[in-house]
């Protein structure tokens, strides 16, 4: 186990590891949501559970927990190069203040849970808000572990140790599932009535403590770590200046899910849950391609920028964008075409019936339309952060978020779930295009060379297969005399095969660089095109 935790990876291996983790994490997340949808469907109890994350997530955003590796890695890396003892003092200072800030905000959130529940779910009844406040109090302590553990995860990324960060979401989701299933059983044996989502809420905090805090702490300690009672350090000012735009700038990407929950509560019962299930599916290709590419490429981008190697910096960014975009477009189109059987296979059953499946399918297709923009954002924003610019993404994203607020309330809510899903996809897409335009003006076209051409070719190669998959999978669902889940699985398999039968030969002819690297990695055959080989950065 020690060897696993101390393994160091190059960019390709790191991306593969994190991609595998993203796939398994999303699968576990879908299993978790499957259990929830089976037990509670798309109703009031599920709505309250998903809404319970609005305040905890906002605390995480406020303290830039999700960006800890981005804000601390450049400073910590340089500090370790100059003076290791001083680097540990800086690390200890950040960790101590993060723990105190997270604990204080969590305590305030628990004290004021009821008014916060009314604020974040304005469409809920008083009884629902009271239960939502109870759920929030169960979930809020997880942020202490998330935010403190983020410091150790950043240290592991700095050391290029990706195994434990890859395990973290798996442990987290595993704890939620286990607690959601086991807590009601254990409570019943003790004569304690637990009939709702309490177990899942408790699992969130348990999963954060084990997966996001204890595992990274153990891995960091195995590689050597030094704690000191430090509350002041000369680099804290620079750290805060770097993190401040991320703390103050609540971008549309950060708030997208929260907007769907807040305004979804105004659109009717079950809307929050339906949007959540649809978003879970739509984020699968983003996690599969985007999160892995972004997390794996960032330490290398930081290193290249620190070395002043602008050419390799742009080439690394370009390589990540090209490789991922060529994969996410066909993946998103195939999933959109097969959204009906996909949702049926994953969620339908128990309290989640055919009506809920049909209601969630168009929402999923709308959100999947923005998947390529989500991917470009996740990689491009790492380019901004690696070059020391956290202000531009924060300012532009906050402007988009503020502009979207009245549109959500006056335009999307009256249009129902479809209007909310469409505005979500549109806002993220506009934000990504704005960031790309700013990058082009400041840094030139090097990082985007060939990106539009590859995207158009991937789209052209995918559309015929998507059209065929849509009609074939829908037809199978209507005619197959199987139970619903079996019919959905069969239709999904047939639809996926129909898509592949058209997409694979078309892409091999008109866009060979899309699948050649994938075939090379999976099958161990083929050397890739000369252009593809030449554009790979050498590390």
Q: Give the model confidence (pLDDT) of 213-246 as tens digits.
A: 998 888 888 877 777 787 887 878 777 777 776 6
Backbone angles phi, psi at 352, to 5 degrees: -105, 100
Backbone angles phi, psi at 10, to 5 degrees: -85, 175
Residue 514 in any domain: the answer is: no
Q: Tell me which residue range forms the domain holding 99.
A: 1-248
Distance CA(32)–CA(537), nearest Å, equals 38
Residue 120 in any domain: the answer is: yes
Distance CA(406)–CA(469), nearest Å, equals 38
pTM over 0.85: no
**Which residues of the chain fall below pLDDT 50?**
1-9, 525-539
Based on the structure, what is the number of domains in the chain? 1
Residue 458 in any domain: the answer is: no
Q: What is the pLDDT of residue 505?
A: 93
Q: What is the pLDDT of residue 64?
A: 59
Determine the 3-state secondary structure of 483 from DSSP: coil
Residue 4 in any domain: the answer is: yes
Q: What is the pLDDT of residue 408?
A: 94
Residue 255 in any domain: the answer is: no
460 burial via Cβ count (<10 Å: 0-12, 13-18, 19+): middle
Q: What is the pLDDT of residue 191?
A: 67
End-to-end distance of the chain based on CA atoms, in angstroms?
27
Q: What is the pLDDT of residue 76?
A: 78
Encoding tokens for residue 482?
Answer: 């199987």
Dihedral of CA atoms 359, 288, 401, 136 in degrees, nearest 10, equals 70
Residue 433 in any domain: the answer is: no
Q: What is the pLDDT of residue 302?
A: 78
Q: What is the pLDDT of residue 535?
A: 38
Residue 104 in any domain: the answer is: yes
Residues 6+ apart with CB under 8 A from 107: none
Residue 225 in any domain: the answer is: yes
């Amino acid at each position: 186990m020690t060897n696993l935790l101390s393994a160091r990876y190059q960019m390709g291996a790191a991306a593969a590891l994190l991609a595998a983790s993203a796939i398994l994490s999303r699968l576990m997340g879908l299993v978790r949501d499957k259990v929830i949808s089976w037990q509670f469907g798309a109703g009031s109890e599920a709505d309250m559970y998903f809404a319970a994350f609005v305040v905890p997530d906002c605390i995480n955003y406020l303290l830039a927990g999700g960006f800890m590796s981005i804000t601390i890695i450049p400073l910590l890396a340089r500090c370790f190069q100059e003076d290791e003892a001083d680097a540990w003092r800086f690390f200890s200072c950040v960790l101590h203040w993060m723990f105190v800030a997270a604990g204080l905000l969590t305590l305030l959130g628990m004290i004021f849970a009821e008014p916060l529940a009314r604020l974040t779910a304005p469409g809920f009844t008083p009884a629902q808000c009271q239960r939502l406040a109870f759920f929030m109090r169960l979930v809020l302590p997880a942020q202490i572990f998330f935010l403190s553990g983020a410091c150790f995860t950043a240290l592991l990324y700095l050391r290029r140790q990706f195994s434990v960060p890859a395990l973290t979401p798996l442990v987290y989701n595993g704890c939620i599932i286990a607690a959601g299933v086991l807590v009601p059983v254990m409570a019943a044996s003790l004569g304690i009535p637990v009939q709702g989502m309490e177990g899942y809420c408790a699992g969130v905090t348990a999963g954060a403590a084990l997966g996001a805090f204890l595992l990274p702490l153990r891995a960091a300690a195995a590689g050597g770590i030094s704690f000191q009672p430090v509350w002041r350090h000369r680099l804290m000012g620079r750290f805060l200046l770097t993190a401040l735009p991320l703390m103050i700038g609540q971008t549309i990407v950060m708030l997208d899910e929260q907007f769907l929950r807040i305004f979804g509560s105004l659109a009717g019962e079950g809307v929050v849950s339906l949007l959540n299930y649809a978003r879970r599916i739509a984020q699968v290709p983003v996690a599969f391609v985007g999160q892995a590419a972004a997390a794996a490429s960032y330490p290398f981008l930081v290193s290249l920028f620190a070395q002043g190697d602008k050419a390799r910096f742009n080439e690394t960014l370009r390589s990540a964008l090209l490789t991922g975009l060529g994969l996410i477009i066909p993946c998103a189109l195939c999933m959109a075409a097969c959204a009906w059987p996909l949702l049926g296979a994953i969620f339908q059953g128990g309290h989640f019936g055919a009506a809920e499946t049909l209601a969630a399918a168009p929402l999923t297709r709308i959100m999947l339309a923005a998947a390529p923009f989500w991917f470009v954002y996740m990689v491009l924003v790492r380019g901004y952060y690696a070059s020391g610019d956290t202000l531009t993404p924060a300012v532009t994203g906050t402007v988009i978020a503020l502009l979207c607020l009245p549109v959500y309330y006056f335009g999307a809510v009256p249009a129902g779930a479809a209007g909310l899903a469409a505005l979500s996809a549109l806002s993220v897409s506009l934000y990504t295009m704005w960031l790309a335009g700013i990058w082009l003006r400041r840094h030139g076209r090097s990082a985007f060379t060939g990106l539009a051409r590859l995207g158009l070719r991937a789209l052209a190669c995918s559309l015929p297969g998507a059209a065929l998959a849509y009609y074939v999978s829908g037809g199978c669902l209507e005619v197959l005399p199987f139970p619903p889940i079996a019919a959905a699985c069969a239709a999904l398999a047939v639809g996926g095969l129909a898509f592949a039968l058209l997409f694979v030969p078309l892409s091999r002819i008109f866009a060979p660089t899309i699948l050649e690297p994938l075939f090379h990695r999976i099958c161990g055959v083929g050397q890739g095109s000369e252009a593809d080989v030449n554009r790979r950065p050498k590390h």
